[in-house]
């Protein structure tokens, strides 16, 4: 389904699918690489037996393997290192996406052969889609005063387009540490991507993450232990004044983009990671669309 959409738009690049929870049905899709596990929640780090099952399924279907890792506590680092050790024993060519500099340091020190990829939390994009009307000066008048907000300078729009990955000093640091790929969100507005020829980017589509926190809202409100309710429940938030509704799953807020066509103009981007969050639940229930 995802590949057909790319081919229809004449977008030819590496196609990956993100699978947060193991489900063999996903391999009925046509794709090149599997992104496995969650990038934002320590409580969803896969157990070793589940990770091994995902690795074997990818191998059996001729699909390359990438492991997502979140920001973590000491407990989480221990789990990630155990998973990295398992990967190194069963897969000769794999990637690890890191969203925590501590994870980067420990993996680089103990598994120097691992291909490390800079995650979305560390590329520092400005992602809230409802800022679009502000940075493009399309705000509506105040309902009470009927006055329009102060105009935003063009420099603010350029700031929202960019990211730390454009900085030449930062790119040199990545090269020094053999990091050749960065992960970014596919934003509502035009992006400014200035990478050197040795650095490539992956974009996530159709869901871009806006923000994330250590605990999900349910845990914060109830002070209860995590029962992984995010496997089955999401929250949709929409308001008349919002250009784009929010989707909350667990500890992370997302929004959805429907247009993929402009991706062709970003020369540094050579991989699309499909992360259709609703499709995950459809796969799990056996109802595919």
191's tokens? 């992006």
Please tell me the total count of domains within the chain.
1
The 8-class DSSP code of residue 242 comes to: -
pLDDT along the chain (289 residues), means of 10: 57 85 86 94 94 95 96 93 95 94 96 95 85 74 78 78 90 95 89 90 92 79 76 79 81 86 86 75 39
Contact 104, 98 (CB under 8 A): yes
Q: Is residue 249 part of a domain?
A: no
Q: Is residue 223 part of a domain?
A: no
Q: Is residue 231 part of a domain?
A: no
Q: Is residue 143 part of a domain?
A: no
- Name which of 68, 71, 210 is nearest 130 in CA terms: 210
pLDDT attached to residue 281: 45
Q: Is residue 181 part of a domain?
A: yes
- Parallel/antiparallel/unpaired status of strands 269-274 and 200-205: parallel
- Name which of 40, 44, 19, 43 is nearest 29 in CA terms: 19
What secondary structure does DSSP assign to 146-206, as a single string? -PPPPPPPHHHHHHHH--GGG-HHHHHHHHHTT--EEEEE--SSPP-----TT-EEEEEES
Polymer length in residues for the chain: 289
3-state secondary structure of 48: helix
Rounded Cα gap, residues 21 and 101, in angstroms: 24
111's tokens? 């598994």
Task: Please give the model's pTM, rounded to 2 decimal places.
Answer: 0.87
pLDDT attached to residue 285: 41
What secondary structure does DSSP assign to 28-64, as a single string? GS--SEEEES-SS-GGGPPPHHHHHHHHHHHHHTT-E
- Parallel/antiparallel/unpaired status of strands 252-256 and 246-249: antiparallel
Q: What is the domain extent for residue 198?
A: 2-127+163-210+255-285
Beta bridge partners of residue 254, listed in sequence order: 209, 247
Q: Is residue 227 part of a domain?
A: no
Q: Which residues make Cβ contacts (< 8 Å) with residue 242, sequence separation at least 6?
A: 130
Q: Is residue 136 part of a domain?
A: no
131's tokens? 């800022």
Q: Is residue 201 part of a domain?
A: yes
Rounded Cα gap, residues 98 and 270, in angstroms: 19
Sign of CA dihedral 261, 211, 175, 161: positive
Rounded Cα gap, residues 10 and 260, in angstroms: 11
Domain CATH number, residue 18:
3.20.20.380
């Amino acid at each position: 389904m995802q590949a057909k959409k790319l081919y229809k738009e004449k977008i030819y690049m590496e196609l990956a699918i993100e699978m947060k929870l193991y489900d063999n049905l996903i391999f009925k899709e046509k794709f090149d690489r599997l992104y496995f596990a969650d990038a934002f929640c320590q409580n969803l780090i896969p157990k070793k037996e589940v990770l091994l099952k995902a690795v074997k399924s990818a191998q059996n279907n001729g699909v390359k393997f990438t492991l997502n890792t979140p920001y973590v506590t000491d407990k989480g680092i221990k789990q990630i290192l155990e998973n990295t050790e398992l990967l190194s024993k069963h897969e000769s060519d794999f990637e690890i996406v890191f969203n925590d500099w501590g994870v980067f340091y420990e993996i680089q020190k103990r598994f120097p052969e691992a291909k490390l990829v800079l995650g979305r939390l560390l590329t520092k994009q400005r992602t809230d889609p409802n800022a679009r009307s502000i940075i493009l000066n399309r705000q509506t008048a105040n309902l009470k005063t009927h006055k329009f907000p102060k105009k935003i300078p063009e420099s603010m729009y350029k700031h929202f387009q960019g990211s730390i990955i454009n900085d030449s000093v930062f790119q040199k640091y990545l090269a020094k540490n053999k990091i050749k790929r960065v992960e970014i969100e596919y934003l509502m507005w035009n992006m400014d991507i200035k990478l050197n020829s040795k650095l490539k980017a992956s974009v996530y589509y159709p869901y871009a993450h806006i923000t994330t926190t250590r605990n999900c809202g349910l845990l914060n409100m109830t002070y209860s232990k995590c029962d992984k309710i995010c496997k089955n429940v999401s929250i949709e938030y929409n308001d008349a004044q919002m250009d784009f509704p929010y989707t909350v799953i667990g500890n992370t807020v997302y929004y959805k983009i429907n247009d993929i066509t402009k991706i062709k103009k970003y020369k540094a981007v050579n991989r699309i990671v499909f992360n259709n969050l609703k499709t995950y639940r459809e796969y799990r229930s056996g109802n595919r669309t």
